[in-house]
Copies of this chain bind each other. A is one copy, B any other.
Amino acid sequence: MVVDQLHEDEVSRLFQALADATRRDIVARVLVADHSVSRLAEQYAMSFAAVQKHVAVLERASLVTKEKRGREQIVRGEVDGVQTARRLLDDYERIWRQRVGRIEDILAEDEDRN
């Protein structure tokens, strides 16, 4: 199971990072194309420092990376982080399906008895 391969804290940081609309929007933007932090900041009705903090949260969650280019800091989306989160949710769905499978087995056994 994918879950076991990760430390719980990393997973928590991942979902925590995704639990904010502004940050999700940033992720969507930088997955499409790289943006400097100040370019990103132009998009939102909040201070540059606030956007800077959001980017930092995303970076700690491995959802984006930053790269210095001259005086700018270029933010790039990291699809690996997104995939990690998606696989975790796949695990939950698999757990659930196994349960449904067991229930159907039980029903099938009842069926046999009739």
Contact = CB atoms under 8 A, between A and B. Distances in A.
Contacts of A19: 12-16, 18-19
Interface stretch (A39-47, A65-73, A82-90): A82-90
Interface string A23-41: 0100110011100000000
Q: Can you tell how many copies of this chain the complex includes?
A: 2
Contacts of A33: 99
What range describes how many residues of A lie at the interface? 20 to 34
Q: Is chain A's interface secondary structure helix, strand, loop, or mixed overall?
A: helix
Contacts of A93: 79, 82-83, 86
B99 A82 contact: no
Contacts of A112: none
Contacts of A86: 86, 89-90, 93
Interface of A: 8-9, 11-16, 18-21, 24, 27-28, 31-33, 77, 79, 82-83, 85-86, 89-90, 92-93, 95-96, 98-99
